[in-house]
Amino acid sequence: MLGVRSWRVFGAVRRGVRVTPWERRAGTGVDISGLYPPIATPFSATEEVDYPRLEENLQKYAQVPFKGLVVQGSNGEYPFLTEEERVEVVRRVRKSLPADKLVMAGSGCESTRATVHMTERMAGAGADAVLVVTPCFYKGKMDSHALIQHFTKVADSSPVPVVLYSVPANTGLELPLDAVVHLAQHPNILGLKDSGGDITRIGLVVHKTKTLDFQVLAGSAGFLMAAYCVGAVGGVCALANVLGRPLCELERLCVSGRWEEARVLQQRLIEPNAAVTRKLGVPALKQAMEWFGYHGGTCRSPLQPLTEAEAQQLRRDFSSNGWL
């Protein structure tokens, strides 16, 4: 048990009162609609977490109209950090950010037991919600039954709301649609971050959960407009680490129904987004951050920096679309 503390409900605080999952979902609710960068973790030359540079990045992100930040996601090199580093990064982000910015922290581990533990620690560090990725090492056994049991146990015990995270490009496992629909009924499961890019699936999730308070976030800037078209409420986009304001503008255009302007902007974001995600990954994101005035720095081993040819291709992907 975490004991009595200030339980954060986005937009309000109930001090000294433990808000149950049922109250959180049915009473106040947590609105996760909007844009989030899944922030990178800056490292020093010796691969230690560089907290001063993290703080400088956070000060800049606080000036962008994001709904909040995702901390310790895939782009934060979460699998390469120790448990203490993961928690300390979240603690520092929460302390640095304005109170009206939501902090969603990655807490997924391979075992249910470890995920429950990490979720409690992330809540204790100040996370407003947790993002829980599918366990995947034994992916052949991770059928709907196993995953429903896993996420239910995590949500039952979590002090803060849970967002499901499906990222098949990294895990080799997509959270099955029937499992999502079943889990959407849980009072402490708020929504889904879907990074698969299948717009038909995203539309089906929205359709099949339309009677519930369940919110879907697109997991990439490359299909953000399309996801809005079928009912998503926002996005967690790696590209927002470098092009945060244009992505917030795309969000604004979609929400206001200005689809022609949104289409033009979306098209300009597709190539640079692909470069820092599926094509070149986190090393490219960190390189692009340096170009745009943020601290990206090195990756933690075994991730390697870009080759010269890759860096040149990355620059072309940004410059040919008018961003550099």
The dihedral over CA atoms of 80, 86, 89, 90, expressed in degrees to the nearest 10, equals: 140
Q: What is the set of active-site residues? A: 193
Block residue for tokens 């807490």: 107
How many angstroms separate the Cα of 260 from the Cα of each of 39, 222, 266, 267? 30, 16, 10, 11
Buried b (16+ CB within 10 A) or exposed e, 261-294: ebeebbebbbbbbbbbbeebbbbbbbbbbebeeb
Cβ-contact 215, 191 below 8 angstroms: yes
Distance in angstroms (rounded) separating the CA atoms of residues 138 and 321:
41
Distance in angstroms (rounded) separating the CA atoms of residues 297 and 285:
10
29 burial class (0-12, 13-18, 19+ CB within 10 angstroms)? middle
Distance in angstroms (rounded) separating the CA atoms of residues 271 and 222:
8
